[in-house]
């Protein structure tokens, strides 16, 4: 065994006393050649002897590894028992009993394991590759597997914390609030130069464009807070990003009440007209190449959510196909591979520069995490392939929502609130071990996506292992992730997924200039505001492919469903009905539909809601309603 490498480097050569005569003959010949310094060519006999020696080395080395593992097995078991005893003796909080019902309205009681440990097939996904990098190898910041990482996202050092304190000690000079929606003829002309056809559309006029931007901030931003609202100005932003925002506002226009004097001709047509060439315009921009600016990824995220949820089949497929390009742009962004504040001076005269640098840094983190979120959600809601995995996200969670919105913050406490933001993987570990994680709505969504993503990754790994003859995994990892998702739900306010305040950050909407909130987003609305939670519980128990094919879909991912395919699915559904997954899946589906269509049991007035998908501002809720109906 090599002393330099410890257990990582094992000498697999067999003991010389056990060598065969052929190998000993070759060793003697090589030793003689070394002594006389001969440069003789290797003859056929030498080649034959070397081949035989290599074969024996390999066989002996494999036997040595098997013996080593066998000898270490009692030690591993002993160490595992010791760790389990420590975990049992360690004081724990927020542990729910097996009989607990995860409160907050309708819920399903799930048995939670009493151990803080979780299964190896989940544990290895969350291991930090930095801790096993060999000395003298690649830089620890040059991560493998395309991980998202910033080296100021560990415990903050004194210099970075001091920089944060300096930033929040300064008063930012944000644009006037009107700049978030203001549009003039010059801005209009810039957008028309990008897409000339929109000039002729009856809804592409200044008053309506302003209203579409207001709708964006009111309905989309509260769900996907990837833009920094206070520093945003229509006069300074890129025309392509502005077109994205107008596209979303136009597509959401039916979900809010327009002003009385507005007569909208075809807002959905305007949204489609903008979306059709927009992706190519973004990709051909000079700034859409590594290292790209945050507005490029922000535009691609907004466009992708529109293409996936609100438009034609053609654009839906396009979003799925080009999702990987956005991920690669993120992976090649230097702001995710280094400290963005390290080159910024500490002169107070640079207050705007400091604030802008911090905002850009947080924006990149938010769009990286939002890319991970939508990649995961699209996998369970639409059956799309996954491009990002939880173990590749080495970022801390976003800063608090109040700080991002600059809404009644304490600037003295702000630096520490940023410094105490947990790492994404650490927060996931805590949820898997039933430990409390105090986060705000946006971070809560990211953590839910992280748990779902672990499910997808373990599924994929097991599928790959089984293809190569690996036996089935002897552990109930689905129950581990399912109970972690249930525990995540208990961390919501009142343990209730039907509170609007638990799923999004609300700011003051009482201004007369603001459009009125639709009923779905009002704070007193009692319908489910975390539909992805129910989608995860359904996906845990039945695959998207099975219930889509069983329902009679003629094709999936453009692949026709043949009669043989349908018969296989029918057999699968027959087994599913008789298993424990069938009833649990139906129960979760019914609970979700009740949360959408009925008022809570403890409400003073019983209300039956008429659900209109076209007026639902939650991006994925209509499709998850369909999943709940088909999975019963």
Mean pLDDT for 235-241 is 95
Q: How many domains does the chain have?
A: 2
Domain-embedded: residue 335: yes
Q: Which residues pair with 559 in a beta bridge?
A: 556
| Same domain as 288, residue 188 | yes
Q: Find the mean pLDDT for residues 158-179.
A: 68
Q: Is 113 among the domain residues?
A: no
Q: For residues 94 and 352, what is the distance between their CA atoms, to the nearest angstrom? A: 43
**Helix, strand, coil % over all residues of the chain, rounded to 5:** 60, 0, 40
Instruction: Examine the domain organization and report whether 290 and 381 are in the same domain.
Output: yes
Contact status, residue 379 vs residue 544, Cβ threshold 8 Å: no
Q: What is the pLDDT of residue 140?
A: 41
Q: Are residues 211 and 354 in the same domain?
A: yes
C-alpha distance from residue 137 to each of 10, 140, 147 (Å): 19, 8, 17
Domain boundary among 49, 71, 89: 89
pLDDT for residue 45: 60
How much is the average pLDDT of 422-442? 90
Mark whether 41 and 189 lie in a shared domain: no
Q: What is the pLDDT of residue 129?
A: 42
First to last CA, the chain: 58
Domain boundary among 89, 115, 141: 89
Same domain as 65, residue 169: no
- Closest alpha carbon to 321 in 558, 84, 139, 630: 558
One domain, residues 43 and 164: no
- pLDDT at position 422: 87
What is the chain's length? 632
Percent of the chain with pLDDT over 90: 39
Residue 81 belongs to domain spanning: 6-89
Say what the pTM is: 0.74
Residues 530, 492 contacting (CB under 8 angstroms): yes
Contact of 177 with 210, CB cutoff 8 Å? no
Q: How confident is the model at residue 322 (pLDDT cuts 50, 70, 90)?
A: very high
In a domain, 16, yes or no: yes
* Distance separating alpha carbons of residues 591 and 583, to the nearest angstrom: 12
Residues 82 and 173 in one domain: no
Higher-confidence residue of 401 and 39: namely 401
Kind and range of the H or E run holding 560: strand 559-560
**Quick one: 258 and 352 in the same domain?**
yes
Confidence of residue 134 (pLDDT cuts 50, 70, 90): very low
pLDDT, one tens digit per residue, over 460-478 is 888 777 666 665 555 578 8
Q: Is residue 132 part of a domain?
A: no
Same structural domain, 80 and 173: no
Highest mean pLDDT among 76-80, 345-349, 575-579: 575-579
Q: Which tens digit of pLDDT belongs to each residue from 97-130?
A: 333 333 344 444 444 444 445 555 555 455 544 4
According to the model, what pLDDT value does residue 556 have?
A: 86
323 assigned to some structural domain = yes
Among candidate residues 67, 89, 111, the one where a domain is terminated: 89
Clarify whether residues 207 and 310 are in a common domain.
Answer: yes
C-alpha span between 20 and 22 (Å, rounded) = 5
Q: How confident is the model at residue 339, as a pLDDT?
A: 41
332 falls within a domain: yes
Residue 265 pLDDT greater than 80, yes or no: yes
Specify whether 363 is located in the same domain as 281: yes
Q: What is the arithmetic mean of pLDDT over 173-195?
A: 89
Which residue, among 440, 596, 604, has the nearest Cα to 531 in the 3D structure? 596
Structural domain contains residue 499: no
Residue 101 counted as domain residue: no
pLDDT in tens, 298-307: 999 999 999 9
Distance in angstroms (rounded) separating the CA atoms of residues 58 and 219: 64
Mean pLDDT of the chain: 76
The answer on pLDDT for 628 being more than 80 is yes
Asked whether the beta carbons of 60 and 14 are under 8 A apart, the reply is yes
* pLDDT single digits (tens) 10-42: 344 444 555 556 556 656 665 655 554 444 455
Contacts of 437 (CB under 8 A, 6+ apart): 422, 427, 430, 431, 447, 491
Q: Are residues 208 and 356 in the same domain?
A: yes
């Amino acid at each position: 065994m090599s002393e330099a490498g410890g257990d990582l480097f094992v000498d697999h050569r067999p003991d010389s006393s056990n060598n065969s005569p052929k190998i000993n003959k070759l060793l003697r010949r090589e030793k003689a050649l070394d002594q006389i310094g001969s440069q003789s060519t290797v003859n056929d006999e030498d080649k034959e002897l070397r081949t035989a020696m290599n074969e024996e080395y390999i066989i002996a080395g494999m036997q040595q590894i098997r013996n080593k593992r066998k000898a270490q097995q009692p030690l591993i078991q002993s160490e595992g028992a010791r760790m389990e005893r420590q975990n049992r003796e360690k004081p724990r909080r927020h542990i729910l009993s097996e009989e607990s019902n995860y409160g907050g309205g309708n819920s399903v009681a799930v048995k939670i394991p009493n151990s803080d440990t979780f299964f190896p097939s989940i544990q290895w996904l969350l291991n930090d590759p930095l801790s096993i990098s060999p000395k003298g190898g690649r830089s620890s910041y040059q991560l493998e597997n395309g991980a998202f990482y910033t080296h100021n996202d560990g415990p903050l050092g004194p210099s970075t914390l001091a920089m944060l304190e300096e930033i929040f000690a300064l008063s930012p000079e944000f644009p006037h609030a009107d700049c978030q929606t203001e549009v003039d003829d010059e801005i209009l002309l810039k957008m028309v130069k990008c897409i000339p056809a929109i000039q002729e559309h009856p809804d592409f006029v200044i008053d309506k464009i302003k209203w579409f931007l207001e709708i964006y901030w009111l309905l989309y931003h509260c769900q996907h807070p990837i833009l920094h609202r206070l520093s945003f100005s229509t006069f300074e932003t890129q025309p392509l990003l502005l077109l994205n925002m107008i596209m979303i506002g136009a597509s959401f226009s039916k979900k809010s009440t327009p002003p009385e004097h507005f007569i909208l001709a075809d807002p959905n047509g305007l949204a489609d007209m903008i979306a059709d060439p927009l992706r190519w315009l973004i990709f051909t921009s000079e700034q859409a190449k590594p290292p790209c600016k945050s507005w490029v990824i922000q535009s691609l995220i907004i466009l992708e959510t529109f293409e996936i949820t609100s438009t034609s089949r053609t654009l839906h497929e396009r979003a799925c196909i080009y999702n990987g390009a956005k991920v690669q742009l993120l992976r090649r962004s230097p702001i995710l591979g280094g400290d963005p504040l390290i080159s910024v001076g500490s002169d107070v005269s640079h207050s705007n520069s400091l604030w802008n640098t911090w905002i850009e840094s947080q924006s990149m983190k938010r769009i990286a995490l939002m890319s991970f979120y939508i990649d995961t959600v699209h996998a369970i809601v639409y059956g799309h392939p996954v491009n990002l995995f939880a173990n590749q996200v080495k970022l801390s969670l976003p800063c608090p929502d109040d700080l991002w919105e600059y809404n009644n913050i304490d600037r003295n406490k702000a630096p520490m609130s940023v410094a105490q933001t947990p790492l994404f993987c650490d927060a996931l570990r805590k949820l898997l071990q039933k430990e409390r994680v105090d986060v705000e709505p946006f971070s809560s969504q990211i953590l839910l996506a992280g748990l779902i993503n672990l499910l997808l990754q373990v599924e994929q790994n097991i599928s790959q292992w089984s293809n190569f003859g690996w036996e089935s995994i002897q552990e109930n990892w689905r129950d581990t992730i399912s109970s972690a998702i249930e525990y995540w739900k208990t961390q919501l306010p009142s343990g209730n997924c039907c509170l609007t305040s638990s799923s999004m950050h609300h700011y003051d909407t009482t201004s007369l200039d603001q459009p009125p909130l639709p009923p779905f987003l009002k704070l007193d609305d009692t319908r489910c505001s975390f539909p992805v939670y129910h989608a995860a519980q359904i996906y845990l128990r039945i695959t998207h492919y099975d219930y889509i094919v069983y329902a009679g879909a003629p094709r999936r991912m453009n692949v026709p469903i043949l009669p043989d395919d349908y018969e296989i699915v029918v057999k699968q559904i027959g087994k599913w009905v008789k298993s424990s997954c069938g009833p649990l899946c139906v129960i979760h589906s019914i609970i979700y539909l009740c949360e959408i269509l009925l008022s809570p049991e403890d409400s003073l007035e019983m209300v039956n809601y008429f659900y209109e998908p076209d007026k639902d501002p939650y991006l994925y809720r209509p499709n998850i309603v369909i999943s709940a109906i088909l999975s019963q």
